[in-house]
């Protein structure tokens, strides 16, 4: 294997493990924090609903019910909470090992025998996949993208993968949700304008 191919392989593995670590941390954060946030919002809305009639409507009550059901869904992951945190830490350790290996390989001449690095890479990658938890919470992908691309230093991976905003840094499902929302808003605005014109 050539030096360039090995660098690409290490960078791709670093992306997989780094993103995997952030996905585990995202699930941990959502399990840990989201029920408290939802409970706080429901509490505030309930308090203000005592003297603001517009907050005591059936639609607001329905949203509070959605919050309660969401909390039950999230609590279903609570028993595994520690494993998500521990797995994220272990994957981050493997990610850091790959980053160190990347810079070491990068500093070596093309004529170096890279077989030991290839073997080390394989060992790290196989060990990392034994640590993962396959079941992740809803929207952990979106949060993991934020944590990986906007909080973590990924320049060494970007040297090889050349990340772009729409292709890599924004989750596909988020992009689709934004497009559908914009189309929905345009359709609603158009129908509202037609209704208003026919009324006039």
Choice between 166 and 88, residue whose per-residue pLDDT is larger? 88
Q: Give a yes or no: residue 139 inside a domain.
A: yes
Residue 184, number of CB atoms within 10 A of its CB = 10
In a domain, 185, yes or no: no
User: What's the domain count of the chain?
Assistant: 1
Q: Find the angle CA(105)-CA(110)-CA(111) to the nearest 5 degrees.
A: 115
Closest of 127, 128, 18, 30 to residue 80, by C-alpha: 30
Please tell me the pTM assigned to this model: 0.82
39-89: pLDDT as tens digits: 888 888 888 888 888 877 888 888 888 888 888 889 889 888 999 999 999
In a domain, 35, yes or no: no
Specify the pLDDT at position 25.
Answer: 96
Confidence of residue 194 (pLDDT cuts 50, 70, 90): low
More confident residue, 50 or 196: 50
Residue 196 lies in a domain: no
Query: What is the per-residue pLDDT across 124-148, written as a single tens digit (0 to 9) for each?
Result: 999 998 888 889 998 899 999 999 9
Q: Rounded to an integer, what distance in angstroms lies between the CA atom of residue 35 and that of residue 33?
A: 6
DSSP letter at 54? G
Q: Are 67 and 41 in contact (CB under 8 A)?
A: yes
Is pLDDT of 107 > 90? yes
Mean pLDDT score, 13-39: 94
155 in Cβ contact with 185 (< 8 Å): no
Average confidence score pLDDT of the chain: 89
The percent of residues in the chain predicted with pLDDT above 90, rounded, is: 50
Residue 137, domain member (yes or no): yes
Angstrom distance (rounded) from CA 33 to CA 28: 8
User: Does residue 98 lie within any of the structural domains?
Assistant: yes
pLDDT band at 191 (very low <50, low <70, confident <90, very high): confident
- For residue 122, give its domain range: 3-28+79-169
* 117 inside domain: yes
| Paired tokens of 153 | 């230093």
Is 103 among the domain residues? yes
């Amino acid at each position: 294997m050539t030096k360039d191919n090995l660098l690409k392989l290490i960078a791709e593995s670093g992306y997989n493990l780094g993103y995997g670590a952030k996905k585990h941390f995202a699930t941990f954060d959502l399990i840990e924090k989201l029920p408290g946030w939802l409970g706080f919002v429901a509490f505030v809305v309930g308090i203000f609903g005592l003297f603001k009639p517009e907050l005591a409507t059936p639609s607001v009550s329905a949203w509070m019910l959605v919050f309660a059901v969401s909390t039950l869904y999230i609590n279903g992951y609570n028993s595994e909470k520690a494993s998500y945190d521990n797995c994220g830490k272990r994957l981050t350790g493997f990610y850091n090992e790959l980053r160190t290996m990347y810079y070491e390989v990068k500093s070596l001449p093309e004529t170096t025998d890279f077989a030991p690095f290839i073997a080390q890479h394989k060992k790290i990658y196989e060990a990392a996949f034994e640590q993962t938890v396959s079941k992740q919470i809803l929207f952990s992908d979106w949060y993991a993208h934020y944590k990986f691309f906007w909080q973590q230093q990924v320049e060494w991976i970007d040297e090889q993968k050349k990340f772009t905003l729409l292709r890599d840094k924004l989750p596909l499902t988020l992009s689709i949700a934004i497009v559908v929302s914009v189309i929905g808003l345009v359709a609603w605005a158009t129908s509202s304008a037609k209704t208003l014109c026919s009324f006039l």
